[in-house]
Amino acid sequence: MEVVKHQKWWGWGEDGIEFTYEDKPKFADFVLTNVGVDVTAAAFARPDFEAVQVAAPQLKPGFRKVLVGIVGEDWVATDKETRLVHACGRGVVDLIRLRRGELGRVPDVVVYPADEAEIVALMEAVVKTDAVLIPYGGGSNIVGALTAPRTLRTVISVDMGRLNQVMEIDPTSGLARIQAGVLGPDLEEQLNAQGWTMGHFPDSFIWSTLGGWIATRSSGMQSDKYGDIADMTRGLRLVTPEGVMVLRPLPSTASGPSVREMVLGSEGRLGIITEAWMNVHRRPAVRTIQGYFFATYNDGLAAMAAIAASDAAPSITRVMDAAETAFSIANGKKSSTVTGLANKAVQRLMTMKGWRLDEVALGLVGFEGTRRHVAYEKGLVDAIISRHRGLGVGTSPGALYDQKKYDVPYIRDFLLDRGIPADVSETATPWQYTTQLHDATVAAAYRAMAEAGVQGFVMCHLSHSYHSGACQYFTFALNDSSDRMLETYRRVKGAIQQSFMDNHGTVSHHHGGGSEQVRWLGEDISAVGVSFQAKLFSGVDPGGWLNPAG
């Protein structure tokens, strides 16, 4: 029988795959020094499935029968593990709640529709019985967008996993019609088999879906070339309480306020996306990621701003600040080339140039196209980077990054096993404010840690460039295994988010608002902007059936 893949119930990714530090000689020392925890000591016990209490489902027999009538007996699940898997996303708050068994409201039932007609019928049943519906893709959300509201109404998680096909490719237009429930690897495999790629590779790639990307305004690591998901999404279908919205694929349009853009970022509050027409591209002949060291992160930021203002058009622009550069070296294997680059010879060269080794920043720039085009683009970028005191170090760091890019979330479970909550926050600002925002945010995070009386570590990288600015992505880890772990996390995360608002940043560049970040929305888009969104939500969903705030 058809199977829908799920993450492990208590953490990120597949059962059996875990982060290990044992092949990374510098990792344990790095964490001990920077977070104050000895990761080689015994870990806390993993959560015990049997011990987790989940309330009995609030599901009347008559309603279960309705659901079975729509999707079939095999595709209506009320067992504890399925409900747990669908109870939340994979932010550190979710992980802590799962470990503690403090789950709040858990969906009463999980259904797996086979097609749009079944989703239309589910929507009608939800409206008729005044239930609550939460669309579920890969479950990788980290801003609380999958958290059920505290309600007496029946909460239905609609798992989109069976809608996982590339339906058709229009090779003339470079467009593909794709079902919303397809996971990243499955999507790319289907496209690659016909010579195409969508070029969308977010960190969550393995455990996120097309529908989830659209619903959260996702952005992938090659967005400089392929665009954010908002750029790629040219048409879509959305099941709403008043029927199916059909947006045909269009390269551009002036049909009033963009309805397409209302669906993007709607996080399940306007309906369920069933499929979309996406820009797809022939796989490039050459794809390369070049590594560059900069004397400082600021030099790296300035170089990326100069690239954005130039004729060059790389596919990836990325710079790690000094802290993240140090972590990335510490996270390298013994044989790894990043570690190799941090060897004595390179260090001597840097020192000769007058660089301070603790300020060095690693940058990556990606290129795609024909061999000739990649050479031309690399020439443009090399010249700009030279003018910003950059040092080209070839393809090794990029190759390593490419291999390891989807492994990061596993580290969070490893750290949490050792009493270290760790999470991420990202924003975007105009170039003018990238340095100010970076420095203020790092300072705010450390100040919050000091106030909470815990040690911790913050690092950051620039992850996406635009004409007018860039996304900066912060990762932080805290030494707090106490009962106050969640409060400490919220204090530091709050300080980081507030710094975004105070320094010309946005509440989120690509993770979305969810229930966790919504409190900064008014500072971002102003009270009138929040009111515009609220009018749309309440107009389309007068009953609050669609993923109301948890």
Q: What dihedral do alpha carbons 95, 96, 99, 102 form, nearest 10°?
A: -110
End-to-end CA distance of the chain: give it in Å, rounded: 34
Q: Give least dist CB 413 to a second copy, A.
A: 25
DSSP structure class, residue 69: H
Q: Report in angstroms the alpha-carbon separations of 434 from 45, 69, 325, 473, 484.
A: 41, 54, 18, 11, 32
Q: Give least dist CB 232 to a second copy, A.
A: 9
Residue 262 or 440: the one with the smaller Cβ distance to a second copy is: 262
Q: What tokens does 218 get?
A: 């996702």
Q: Which region, judged by CB under 8 A, interacts with a second copy, from 188-196, 351-359, 415-423, 537-545?
A: 537-545
Per CB under 8 A, contacts with a second copy among 376-415 are: 376, 380
Count of residues in contact with a second copy, rule CB under 8 A: 89
419: region left, alpha or beta (phi > 0 left; psi from -120 to 50 alpha)? left
DSSP structure class, residue 546: B
Q: Give least dist CB 317 to a second copy, A.
A: 12
Among candidate residues 136, 297, 473, 489, the one labeled active-site is 473
- Interface with a second copy, residue 504, by CB under 8 A: yes
- Interface with a second copy, residue 264, by CB under 8 A: yes
Residue 376 or 410: the one with the smaller Cβ distance to a second copy is: 376
Separation between Cα atoms, residue 405 and residue 169, nearest integer Å: 28
Task: List the one residue from 220, 268, 456, 513 that touches a second copy (CB under 8 A).
Answer: 513
- Interface with a second copy, residue 290, by CB under 8 A: no
- From 147, 127, 24, 35, select the one nearest 422 (Cα to Cα): 35
Q: Give least dist CB 173 to a second copy, A.
A: 4
Largest CA distance in the chain: 77
Provide the CB-side half-sphere exposure for 541 (13 A, CA): 24
Residue 367's beta-bridge partner residues? 288
241 φ/ψ angles, rounded to the nearest 5 degrees: -60, -25
Task: List the one residue from 139, 220, 265, 366 that touches a second copy (CB under 8 A).
Answer: 265
Residue 208 or 219: the one with the smaller Cβ distance to a second copy is: 219
Task: List the one residue from 154, 325, 425, 508 that touches a second copy (CB under 8 A).
Answer: 508
- Interface with a second copy, residue 188, by CB under 8 A: no
Does the CA dihedral 86-90-92-96 come out positive or negative? positive
- Interface with a second copy, residue 431, by CB under 8 A: yes
Residue 138 or 512: the one with the smaller Cβ distance to a second copy is: 512
Instruction: Please state the separation of Cα 278 from the chain's center in Å.
Output: 19
Separation between Cα atoms, residue 230 and residue 137, nearest integer Å: 18
Q: Give least dist CB 28 to a second copy, A.
A: 35
Which residue has tokens 């954005």?
Answer: 308
Q: Which region, judged by CB under 8 A, interacts with a second copy, from 64-72, 82-90, 95-103, 507-515?
A: 507-515
Q: Give least dist CB 194 to a second copy, A.
A: 15
Residue 435 or 481: the one with the smaller Cβ distance to a second copy is: 435
Q: Which region, judged by CB under 8 A, interacts with a second copy, from 15-23, 287-295, 332-340, 469-477?
A: 469-477
- From 183, 146, 168, select the one nearest 4 (Cα to Cα): 183
Task: List the one residue from 245, 338, 342, 400 that touches a second copy (CB under 8 A).
Answer: 245
Residue 473 a catalytic site member? yes
What are the start-end ranges of the H helices in 101-198? 116-129, 184-192
- Interface with a second copy, residue 192, by CB under 8 A: no
Residues whose CB falls within 8 Å of the CB of residue 83, separated by 6 or more in sequence, listed in order: 54, 57, 77, 106, 107, 108, 109, 110, 157
Q: Give least dist CB 365 to a second copy, A.
A: 16
Q: Which region, judged by CB under 8 A, interacts with a second copy, from 20-28, 354-362, 453-461, 517-525?
A: 517-525
Separation between Cα atoms, residue 452 and residue 473, nearest integer Å: 23
Q: Which region, judged by CB under 8 A, interacts with a second copy, from 32-40, 317-325, 387-395, 501-509?
A: 501-509
Residues whose CB falls within 8 Å of the CB of residue 417, separated by 6 or more in sequence, listed in order: 43, 44, 46
Pairing of strands 175-179, 272-279: antiparallel
Per CB under 8 A, contacts with a second copy among 291-310 are: 305, 308-309
CB 503 within 8 A of CB 425: no
Give the SS3 label for residue 288.
Answer: strand
Q: Give least dist CB 217 to a second copy, A.
A: 4
- Interface with a second copy, residue 209, by CB under 8 A: no
- Interface with a second copy, residue 28, by CB under 8 A: no
Task: List the one residue from 292, 521, 545, 546 that touches a second copy (CB under 8 A).
Answer: 521
- From 151, 147, 159, select the one nearest 67 (Cα to Cα): 159
Per CB under 8 A, contacts with a second copy among 350-369 are: 369
- Interface with a second copy, residue 222, by CB under 8 A: no
- Interface with a second copy, residue 279, by CB under 8 A: yes
Q: Give least dist CB 539 to a second copy, A.
A: 3
Q: How many CB atoms lie within 10 A of CB 410?
A: 17
- Interface with a second copy, residue 468, by CB under 8 A: yes
Known catalytic residues?
473
